[in-house]
Structure 1
Amino acid sequence: MKENGRSDPADLFAVLAAGLVAHLGVVVDGHPMVVPTVYGYDTERIFLHGSVASRSLTGAGQEVCVTVTVLDGLILARSVFEHGVNYRSAMIYGIPRPVTDPDELLHGLRLLTEHAAPGQWDYARRPSRKELAATRLLALPLAEASVKISDGDPSDGDGPDAALGLWAGRLPVVSTWGSPAPDPLLPPGIEAPPHIARRTGERAN
């Protein structure tokens, strides 16, 4: 709906900050593919990560669409027709390019890692040359994006269906991080680092 559109760049960055998974829409060998992938971003571009063998990440040179969606809840009306979803979404259009510069590759991977788990880039081992060679990263400019946010209530409260005497309202969705679950092969005595442990119970979106 047109009224859900947002033009402030701050709304785009708010959606990117809240989301964790992007869906990359690309045409490969004449067939459309929509692939979920993790991402990172800065003020100018979004970075998409995958394997060098991934067919979906061979789309450099052609236009793609990347979508990030955050579900905030259901709108439950008196009639099924008026039901809806509250959400925040961003659709980013453009022609991605493969990241080949070593410094930019590390920059993009750091952003991707820190977006998913802040503090993890400095805690874990950095990628080796062999691992970097097996990693493909695409950079897509943020110059062309469509942002929509729905945060409404049922719209049939002042219509004929109001006389039905049925409950209507919102059913929010709240995602939170659980307690860290250690690797079964982890030796005793190695505790989750503070930047991971403190996320327990925090909002995930």
Structure 2
Amino acid sequence: MTDLSTPTRKPERYTDERARLDELLDGVPVGVLSTVHEGLPWSVPMLVARDGDRVLLHGSTGAGALRHLRVGAPITLTVMALDGLVVAESAFDSSANYRSAVLRGTAVELAGDEAAAALERLTDRLLPGRTDEIRGSTRRELAATTCLVLPIEEGSWLFKERTGGTDPSTDPEVWSGVVPLRLVAGMPEPTAGVTAPTPGSVQAVGEAYPGFPEEVSAPPR
């Protein structure tokens, strides 16, 4: 591990188990990309997808900061899943359960057929099977899109997880506990005028992020 990837506080919450990192990247479709551009901090949330030992990124060729990344600027990519709110007897002791990862490195720009294939892979990671349901990207669309990959290398990432509840109650008249949270898919909303049935790619999103039951019973008193 490098100095930047060595935990300095509560090391028991960290792991270098690659499978945990992959699970998080595969389950959270949004990350925050950060760098320094022209002497100023810069960050932007974007859709991300893991493809083996790399993370796929994309954006407009007109974005100035992305042009900066294309020439080898160092970056960080942060991904987080909020798994629950920990409600304690005091605000100070309240917290959150979460999984987070910070990846550091240098993005590599893809071009030509390699970029086109990576963009299709990105689409299918977010919407499984979507590229088989739609037309291919045009040359103009590909020319307007920057495709970058961030390699996942040993020692270049940190994975952290907070789990559990509160300390044992000292005041039963004050509610404490955990409120679980998760990302869920709602009912698909087709564009006005669309008569096609819900495609497999959209159904796959619902399976990946299953929603809550329509009726949730009240907790016992």
**TM-score of the pair, normalised by structure 1:** 0.89
Match of 2:200 among 191, 194, 198: 194
1:80 is paired with a residue whose SS is coil
Secondary structure class of the residue paired with 1:192: coil
Shift in Å, 1:198:
5.6
Whether contact under 8 Å (1:41, 1:47) holds in the other structure is yes
Which of the numbers 145, 149, 170 marks the counterpart of 2:161? Answer: 149
Alpha-carbon distance in structure 1 between the residues aligned to 2:178 and 2:18: 27
User: How many Å separate the matches in 1 of 2:205 and 2:98?
Assistant: 23
SS for the counterpart of 1:57 is helix
1:174 aligns with 2:174: no
Q: Distance in 2 between matches of 1:75 and 1:67?
A: 22
Cα distance per residue 1:35-83 (max 9 Å; x no partner): 0111222222111110001123122311100011111110111111111
Deviation at 1:204, TM superposition (A): 5.8
Cα distance in 2, alignment partners of residues 75 and 196 from structure 1: 33
Equivalent in 63, 68, 71 of residue 74 of structure 2: 63
Question: Structure 1: which 5+ residue stretches go unaligned?
Answer: none
User: Paired residue for 1:49, among 31, 43, 58?
Assistant: 58
Shift of 1:16: 0.3
- In structure 2, relative to structure 1, the CA distance for the partners of 1:86 and 1:131 (3 Å cut) is same
CA spacing shift, 1:195–1:96, aligned 2, 3 Å: closer
Q: Which runs of 5+ in 2 are unaligned?
A: 1-9, 212-221
Paired amino acid for 2:41 = P
Corresponding residue of 2:4: none
Out of 106, 109, 114, the residue aligned to residue 116 of structure 2 is 106
Q: 1:149 to 1:107 in 2, by over 3 A?
A: farther
Distance 1:149 1:196, change over 3 A: same
1:86-115 CA-to-partner distances (Å, cap 9, x unmatched) read: 111111100112112x23212321221112
Moved over 3 A (4+): 197-202
2:89 counterpart letter in structure 1: R
User: Could you tell me how far apart the structure 1 residues matched to 2:114 and 2:95 are?
Assistant: 41
Within 2, Cα distance between the matches of 1:46 and 1:201?
23
The residue number in structure 1 matching 2:144 is 134
Aligned CA distance change for structure 1 residues 49 and 198 (closer, same or farther; 3 Å)? closer
Task: Please give the residue correspondences for 1:69-108 in structure 2 after superposition, counting only pairs within 5 Å.
Answer: 69-100=80-111, 102-108=112-118
Count residues with an aligned counterpart.
198
Partner Cα separation in structure 2 for residue 72 and residue 98 of structure 1: 33
Q: Report the counterpart of residue 120 of structure 1 in structure 2.
A: 130
Q: For the aligned residues, what is the CA RMSD?
A: 1.9
Paired with 2:34 and 2:84, the residues of 1 have a C-alpha distance of 25
